[in-house]
Amino acid sequence: MKTINNIILILIGILSIRGYAIIAGPYSADEHTLRLYHFDGNSNDAAASNALDLTLSNATVTTASYSNFGTALDTFTGGNTAIAYIDEKLVGTYFTGTDGAFTFEAMIKPFIAITAIPNHMEIISGDDEDSSRGWQFRITTAGQLEFNNISASGNQFLAALPTTGDHTYEVGKWYHVAVTYNGQQGTAENLKFYWTKLETETGTAVELASFQMSGDINPNYAPDFAIGNEARNDPGENFEGLIDEVRISSIARGSEDMLFTSNPYIPAFVTHPIDVIAKEPQSAQLTAVFQSPLIPSVRWFKTDSQDDIEMVPSEPDITLTTTYDSSSDTYTTILTLNTAAMSDSGMYYCIVSNSEAHAKSSSAQLQVLGMTAHWSLNIEDFSANTYLDLVGGHYAQATGFPVFTAGADGKSSGAVLINSQNGWAQTEPFDPTLGTRTMTISFWVNWQNPNGDAEDLWMKSSTTENDITAADGIRADDQWHQICAVFDGTVGRVYADGVRVAEGPWPMPQNTTALLNIGSSLDGQQPLTAAMDDLRIYNYPMTDTEVADIYYAISTKSVCILDFTSAFDLTGPDGRPDCRVDLLDFAIVAQGWLDMYNTPDLSGLTADWLSCKLYPTCSQ
């Protein structure tokens, strides 16, 4: 492995290209791209806006695709119901330009001989059970490429696929296939078919046929959109093979503006950047692997609605490296954010350039896990009757006239008193998980009860029947206690003072955008009637130790995490294990002295005698 600065590179690979199409893809979204599916391990839409991620049913995205294209959509193995789809999307918004123009294109690899096609094989379709039937782009049982504009009668177009010549239909070969329409209704050659075998020498897509279409696809229809099958009723027209690199554009692209290039010097990506998850403040890395016949340079960018932001290595916390591996004739470029912050979340891509050409990678998402909202509930962070969110800007409008009191950290006016008339608050709708559908909520509460009773901690879902209850989970002793709720997507856990006290099934909803009520349920119902301090939300499920760390940071008190304690830690002053092995535990061992089969080796008791396993320290 050598660094790029030490490479003296000559032209390579030109002879090896002869006899094959020069592939410029995989595609990157440009200003005309409406939909873009790479199918690299998922069925997500890589378009820059209005993304339509697809649902897979009996289809997979794990089968290897054409060289340098990752994985592909397999609608063969799962049978004739295999499909990638999304329901009812408006044609004029998602699939055509404002003038009705479009390009539908894909890479396909058929597994069935042209004489034995068992059903029409849908490539890209917009169809529906009702009158909102849009289009079908498919290969028919007769071995023809078909585009059927169902929304405008009399607009069904067919062209026989080649059975001889350079681009003949063959089982197990990869093809680029496309249909374009220029939006000019009723004009000659406004609709064109393209069919190109990837293992032929060409720098452009090869036109198969042209037609005259009398009308646009109805822009007001909202059909079910599908790749590899039709989504109406019970799907039964699966593509018998693999599909990859599906792109839908708002213009009629020309033959030179598709998958191919006549420039032999263009860099080619072997591996595009993939989505990365990093926890704040850990480092995050995005990686791409590429080939270039001339000495390359690499620039990384973060997408932005105004102007994409270049990741400059001279900036603090940004490192960019590019290395060359002579054994595989590939370059590896790595963008490292040395200390990832929540603000770093977003889409990233790189551009590889040499003296003759450049190529842009597909974009990958960096998702940083960390604190998404923080209301200190301190008088210093209270303005215009609003609790300020110090992290996410999701300010909470308070009710009545909040009164402040000493906080959990002892700070004067560092917490708010909440009752039915004052102090509880509500935010505007937002997604505290930022799309992860996992979450941790932590806050401090000081609850007083004239009877000195404890109260159950009760967590109830408003949409399901899941309840999680911790009996006597909060004590009314005029002391501050930390309460924490953790949701990992399927299970909910409740903590009191850094210790897990209850857990149970808790599926998170698909849509996690909601109003947040602080100190009450909806519209002030069931107010807390207590002092509350330091409410934080994180977009990931904390571990037992991470919850204990939050508790320790304010209380300076260690906690007993059962995973860390001794097998002889059987009880404590409150009847539960306390991460100490002492006389209370010995008394229980003594009671069962004769029941040796259920008593651990007593040499272990000796070894752990008077040991302390509190987390994070036993100094207290």
For residue 464, what pLDDT is reported?
Answer: 55
For residue 167, what pLDDT is reported?
Answer: 95
pLDDT, tens digit, 9 for 90 and up, residues 92-110: 999 999 999 999 999 999 9
Residues 6+ apart with CB under 8 A from 119: 80, 141, 236, 237, 238, 240
pLDDT less than 70: residues of the chain: 1-21, 25, 449-466, 471-474, 592-603, 619-620
For residue 472, what pLDDT is reported?
Answer: 63
Query: What's the CA gap between 518 and 495, in Å, rounded?
Result: 18
pLDDT, tens digit, 9 for 90 and up, residues 365-415: 999 999 999 999 999 999 999 999 999 999 999 999 999 999 999 999 999
For residue 165, what pLDDT is reported?
Answer: 93
Residues 6+ apart with CB under 8 A from 366: 275, 276, 277, 278, 284, 286, 337, 340, 344, 345, 346, 347, 348
Q: Which residue has the tokens 């002492």?
A: 582
For residue 458, what pLDDT is reported?
Answer: 62
Query: What's the CA gap between 558 and 521, in Å, rounded?
Result: 32
DSSP three-state, residue 35:
strand
DSSP 364-380: EEEEEESEEEEE---GG
> Residue 556: left if φ>0, alpha if ψ -120 to 50, beta else—which one?
left
Q: How many residues are recorded in the chain? A: 620
pLDDT, tens digit, 9 for 90 and up, residues 315-357: 889 999 999 999 999 999 999 999 999 999 999 999 999 998 8
Q: Give the amino acid at 490.
A: T
Say how many CA atoms lie within 13 Å of 71 toward its Cβ.
15
Q: What is the DSSP letter of 361?
A: P
For residue 6, what pLDDT is reported?
Answer: 30
Rg (CA), the chain: 31
Query: What's the CA gap between 149 and 19, in Å, rounded?
Result: 36
Question: What is the CA angle 40-41-42, rounded to 5?
Answer: 95
Q: Which residue has the tokens 């708010």?
A: 416
Q: Which residue has the tokens 């998980």?
A: 433
For residue 15, what pLDDT is reported?
Answer: 27
Residue 179 bridge partners (DSSP): 104, 193
Query: What's the CA gap between 78 and 57, in Å, rounded?
Result: 8
Helix extents (H) in 109-160: none
Answer whether 0.75 is exceeded by the pTM: no
